[in-house]
Structure 1
């Protein structure tokens, strides 16, 4: 078998060094190259073939998304595993990456084991984001081009269970990213405590799997300007770095359908 080649693209040198160290320690036989921005990465990819791309999103000049879009237009990189490593975990960013053909999405900061599992999963595979996922992502992006449209969305994005010390609360999801979720609970069912540890069971639209995310209560808001409000919005900040949980959550975010305006 020929030597596996990995390209790391990030404008921050300490991140390139950190990722290189992880790959070198766990996969000593791999060949590693690095690039300080998307344009340098593109030139390296044009000059030789790579089996895995680990790329930052936000870089001067050619961004990670630009590099991904370019790569998917090249026959030699149409199905090469491409993992986006970035601090941007907002829903629209995830959807844009999925639409462009990303294989996976990992938020900063991350643990060594998380990156190692991603590499084990994708190296040697030719897994391409499904056309159906790209179609749904494109629809969702088109639906949310302006903040005004986004603010009009009233229907919940899904259902979940919030597990806190007082018990299990059924709730509706208002917003969700890879880092946090905002849910709505009925006041009569109980009100969580600020900074309380929690577990959020986010149900897949298909019902096939559940993302069980560990976190803590970071905010509580009355849904109405009244002491008699029946619903409370609860903000939960995730603390999980488990790659399998984040993968399930990524697919959940991608599966969300357009909210009627």
Structure 2
């Protein structure tokens, strides 16, 4: 029996690697190909057969929406499961993709659980889940949990629920640090969304400050930085990952964290937009331009 095949399309190699590693860890028997944009994916789809496409929206040469529309015009690809992996979650964009024939959405940034849930749903609808799961090990440390305790105890481990602890007193509000801030944005992480202060911005990365929460961000977490600029409230959705995390204050219980957010998009339109943001911010002292 031929392997179940998946095509991953994204102009950012970091995102492609995240998706491929996640799928290979959970579905080790599948075959995965990738493409850097819609045009390359179009070429692959004309000469090879795939069971699922996971595709970014904003890419150079041919966008994900254009690739989706082309697929639905091809007799052999009209019913191909097509999942859009995108930071575009606005209502009008969702409606546009649904009208074009999208099968499902995965919002950036995503956790392994969110991605796998959508992929399993697509495989189930296509009648492929049993086939792809048959090649997986009977026991594995999947993204849905760690079964090491069950493996050691033969599946007989009992879960002990501790008595609820008394609620801790609510700490007093922590004042914001004295920042030489140059703008604000919204950082979307797998653990949630946080307002951030932008200390510096360049074409490669942004230096951000966020309030420390109950769940700490992790180095190499994928994320989306939303920046709003201009009277028309134009929003740039910049995909990337956390390259470094340090305490903003010189103490272990610092209430603020400084994050280095590296961009991964190769989309020329996004880079042009980012250049305009930097130039506009420099003129109005809204951002500090980076190197």
With the shorter chain as reference, the TM-score category is: 0.3 to 0.5
> Which one has the bigger helix percentage?
1
Q: Compute the TM-score of the two structures, normalised by the length of structure 1.
A: 0.48
Name which one, 1 or 2, has greater alpha-carbon Rg: 2
Q: Compute the TM-score of the two structures, normalised by the length of structure 2.
A: 0.43
